[in-house]
Protein backbone atom coordinates (compact mmCIF):
# COMPACT_ATOMS: atom_id res chain seq x y z
CA UNK A 1 0.00 0.00 0.00
CA UNK A 2 1.30 3.48 -0.86
CA UNK A 3 2.19 6.07 1.77
CA UNK A 4 -0.73 8.56 1.98
CA UNK A 5 1.62 11.45 2.87
CA UNK A 6 3.38 11.17 -0.46
CA UNK A 7 1.68 13.13 -3.22
CA UNK A 8 1.16 11.94 -6.75
CA UNK A 9 0.16 13.38 -10.11
CA UNK A 10 -2.42 11.63 -12.26
CA UNK A 11 -2.98 12.95 -15.77
CA UNK A 12 -6.05 12.20 -17.89
CA UNK A 13 -6.09 13.60 -21.41
CA UNK A 14 -8.03 13.07 -24.60
CA UNK A 15 -10.27 14.91 -27.06
CA UNK A 16 -13.65 16.45 -26.38
CA UNK A 17 -16.31 13.84 -25.59
CA UNK A 18 -13.87 11.11 -24.53
CA UNK A 19 -14.99 10.94 -20.87
CA UNK A 20 -12.22 12.93 -19.16
CA UNK A 21 -14.45 14.80 -16.71
CA UNK A 22 -16.46 11.64 -16.08
CA UNK A 23 -13.25 9.85 -15.06
CA UNK A 24 -12.20 12.79 -12.87
CA UNK A 25 -15.55 12.75 -11.05
CA UNK A 26 -15.33 8.96 -10.65
CA UNK A 27 -11.89 9.27 -9.02
CA UNK A 28 -12.97 12.12 -6.76
CA UNK A 29 -16.07 10.23 -5.62
CA UNK A 30 -13.97 7.13 -4.92
CA UNK A 31 -11.59 9.24 -2.80
CA UNK A 32 -14.56 10.72 -0.92
CA UNK A 33 -15.85 7.21 -0.26
CA UNK A 34 -12.47 6.43 1.32
CA UNK A 35 -12.90 9.49 3.59
CA UNK A 36 -10.31 11.66 1.81
CA UNK A 37 -10.84 15.42 1.81
CA UNK A 38 -11.32 16.29 -1.86
CA UNK A 39 -11.59 19.55 -3.76
CA UNK A 40 -12.11 20.14 -7.47
CA UNK A 41 -11.23 23.18 -9.54
CA UNK A 42 -12.34 24.55 -12.89
CA UNK A 43 -11.45 27.73 -14.81
CA UNK A 44 -13.63 30.73 -13.96
CA UNK A 45 -14.59 31.34 -17.58
CA UNK A 46 -15.89 27.79 -18.16
CA UNK A 47 -19.53 28.46 -17.33
CA UNK A 48 -21.05 26.12 -19.94
CA UNK A 49 -23.18 24.15 -17.53
CA UNK A 50 -22.55 25.65 -14.05
CA UNK A 51 -20.37 28.23 -12.30
CA UNK A 52 -19.45 26.15 -9.22
CA UNK A 53 -19.64 22.57 -10.50
CA UNK A 54 -17.80 20.23 -12.79
CA UNK A 55 -20.43 18.94 -15.19
CA UNK A 56 -20.02 16.23 -17.81
CA UNK A 57 -21.66 16.56 -21.21
CA UNK A 58 -24.02 13.84 -19.97
CA UNK A 59 -25.04 15.87 -16.91
CA UNK A 60 -23.06 14.23 -14.08
CA UNK A 61 -22.07 16.89 -11.48
CA UNK A 62 -19.74 17.53 -8.57
CA UNK A 63 -19.02 20.77 -6.65
CA UNK A 64 -16.02 22.78 -7.85
CA UNK A 65 -14.18 25.97 -7.05
CA UNK A 66 -13.73 28.37 -9.97
CA UNK A 67 -10.07 29.44 -10.28
CA UNK A 68 -8.73 32.40 -12.27
CA UNK A 69 -5.27 30.88 -12.62
CA UNK A 70 -3.01 28.09 -11.38
CA UNK A 71 -1.92 30.10 -8.33
CA UNK A 72 -5.58 30.23 -7.22
CA UNK A 73 -5.61 26.44 -7.14
CA UNK A 74 -2.65 26.25 -4.76
CA UNK A 75 -3.93 29.14 -2.66
CA UNK A 76 -7.41 27.63 -2.26
CA UNK A 77 -6.54 23.94 -1.80
CA UNK A 78 -6.67 24.18 2.00
CA UNK A 79 -6.46 20.79 3.71
CA UNK A 80 -7.54 18.79 0.65
CA UNK A 81 -5.69 15.50 0.23
CA UNK A 82 -7.07 14.95 -3.28
CA UNK A 83 -7.33 17.83 -5.74
CA UNK A 84 -9.04 17.49 -9.12
CA UNK A 85 -8.35 20.02 -11.87
CA UNK A 86 -10.61 20.10 -14.93
CA UNK A 87 -9.77 21.81 -18.24
CA UNK A 88 -6.02 21.94 -17.52
CA UNK A 89 -5.29 23.48 -20.93
CA UNK A 90 -7.13 26.66 -19.82
CA UNK A 91 -4.55 27.22 -17.05
CA UNK A 92 -1.47 27.19 -19.30
CA UNK A 93 2.15 26.43 -18.40
CA UNK A 94 1.80 27.77 -14.83
CA UNK A 95 -0.27 24.72 -13.92
CA UNK A 96 2.80 22.48 -14.00
CA UNK A 97 4.54 24.25 -11.10
CA UNK A 98 1.24 24.51 -9.18
CA UNK A 99 0.82 20.74 -9.47
CA UNK A 100 4.42 20.19 -8.35
CA UNK A 101 3.79 22.37 -5.27
CA UNK A 102 0.70 20.37 -4.34
CA UNK A 103 2.39 17.00 -4.93
CA UNK A 104 5.37 18.08 -2.79
CA UNK A 105 2.85 18.88 -0.01
CA UNK A 106 1.56 15.30 -0.14
CA UNK A 107 -1.54 15.95 -2.24
CA UNK A 108 -2.88 13.52 -4.83
CA UNK A 109 -3.51 15.73 -7.87
CA UNK A 110 -5.73 14.56 -10.73
CA UNK A 111 -5.45 16.74 -13.84
CA UNK A 112 -7.79 16.51 -16.82
CA UNK A 113 -7.68 18.31 -20.15
CA UNK A 114 -7.18 18.45 -23.89
CA UNK A 115 -3.71 17.50 -25.02
CA UNK A 116 -4.17 19.07 -28.49
CA UNK A 117 -5.83 22.29 -29.65
CA UNK A 118 -8.10 22.69 -32.72
CA UNK A 119 -5.01 23.13 -34.91
CA UNK A 120 -3.47 19.87 -33.70
CA UNK A 121 -0.78 21.66 -31.66
CA UNK A 122 0.04 20.52 -28.13
CA UNK A 123 -1.50 22.58 -25.35
CA UNK A 124 0.58 23.75 -22.44
CA UNK A 125 0.95 22.48 -19.73
CA UNK A 126 0.90 18.94 -21.17
CA UNK A 127 4.55 18.56 -22.24
CA UNK A 128 5.68 19.30 -18.68
CA UNK A 129 2.85 17.43 -16.94
CA UNK A 130 3.43 14.30 -19.01
CA UNK A 131 7.04 14.15 -17.81
CA UNK A 132 6.07 14.61 -14.14
CA UNK A 133 3.03 12.31 -13.96
CA UNK A 134 2.89 9.17 -11.87
CA UNK A 135 0.00 7.91 -14.00
CA UNK A 136 -1.08 8.89 -17.51
CA UNK A 137 -4.43 7.93 -19.01
CA UNK A 138 -5.05 8.83 -22.65
CA UNK A 139 -8.70 8.47 -23.48
CA UNK A 140 -10.06 8.33 -27.00
CA UNK A 141 -13.40 9.39 -28.36
CA UNK A 142 -15.34 8.03 -31.30
CA UNK A 143 -14.63 9.84 -34.56
CA UNK A 144 -17.86 11.41 -35.79
CA UNK A 145 -16.79 10.86 -39.42
CA UNK A 146 -15.52 7.28 -39.60
CA UNK A 147 -16.17 5.79 -36.15
CA UNK A 148 -12.45 5.24 -35.49
CA UNK A 149 -10.51 6.20 -32.35
CA UNK A 150 -10.55 9.99 -32.01
CA UNK A 151 -7.60 11.81 -30.45
CA UNK A 152 -8.40 15.30 -31.78
CA UNK A 153 -11.15 17.85 -31.19
CA UNK A 154 -12.44 19.28 -34.48
CA UNK A 155 -13.69 22.85 -34.03
CA UNK A 156 -16.98 23.27 -35.86
CA UNK A 157 -17.49 26.99 -35.22
CA UNK A 158 -15.59 29.92 -36.74
CA UNK A 159 -13.36 31.40 -34.06
CA UNK A 160 -9.83 32.78 -34.25
CA UNK A 161 -9.05 32.30 -30.54
CA UNK A 162 -6.83 29.39 -29.51
CA UNK A 163 -9.14 28.68 -26.58
CA UNK A 164 -12.88 28.78 -27.15
CA UNK A 165 -15.18 27.25 -24.55
CA UNK A 166 -17.69 25.01 -26.24
CA UNK A 167 -19.62 21.79 -26.14
CA UNK A 168 -21.94 19.71 -28.27
CA UNK A 169 -22.14 21.22 -31.75
CA UNK A 170 -19.05 23.38 -31.25
CA UNK A 171 -16.53 20.52 -31.36
CA UNK A 172 -16.46 16.93 -32.60
CA UNK A 173 -14.04 14.13 -31.77
CA UNK A 174 -11.97 13.12 -34.82
CA UNK A 175 -9.34 10.50 -35.62
CA UNK A 176 -6.01 11.55 -37.12
CA UNK A 177 -7.18 10.87 -40.68
CA UNK A 178 -10.49 12.73 -40.45
CA UNK A 179 -9.14 15.66 -38.41
CA UNK A 180 -8.69 18.88 -40.38
CA UNK A 181 -6.58 21.40 -38.44
CA UNK A 182 -8.28 24.79 -38.16
CA UNK A 183 -6.54 27.54 -40.09
CA UNK A 184 -8.36 30.32 -38.25
Model pLDDT, residue 1 = 39
- pTM for the whole thing? 0.90
**For range 15-32, the mean pLDDT:** 95
Q: Residue 150: which H helix or E strand, with range? A: strand 149-150
Residue 165 scores a pLDDT above 80 = no
Catalytic residues, which ones? 87
pLDDT digits (tens, 9 = 90+) for 87-137: 999 999 999 999 999 999 999 999 999 999 999 999 999 999 999 999 999
Residue 52 scores a pLDDT above 90 = no
- Distance of CA 119 to CAs 58, 130, 184, Å? 26, 20, 9
Per-chain mean pLDDT for the chain:
90
**C-alpha dihedral sign at 40, 67, 126, 16:** positive
Extents of the domains making up the chain: 8-139
Domain 8-139: homologous superfamily in CATH: P-loop containing nucleotide triphosphate hydrolases (3.40.50.300)
Candidates 141, 140, 165; CA nearest to 155 is: 165
Q: Quote the percentage of the chain above a pLDDT of 90.
A: 76
Amino acid sequence: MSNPSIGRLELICGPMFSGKTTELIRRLEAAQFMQSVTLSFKPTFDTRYADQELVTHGGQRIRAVAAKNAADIVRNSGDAKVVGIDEAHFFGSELSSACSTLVAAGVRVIVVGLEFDHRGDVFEPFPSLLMRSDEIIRLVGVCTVCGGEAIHSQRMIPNTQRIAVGGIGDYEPRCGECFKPSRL
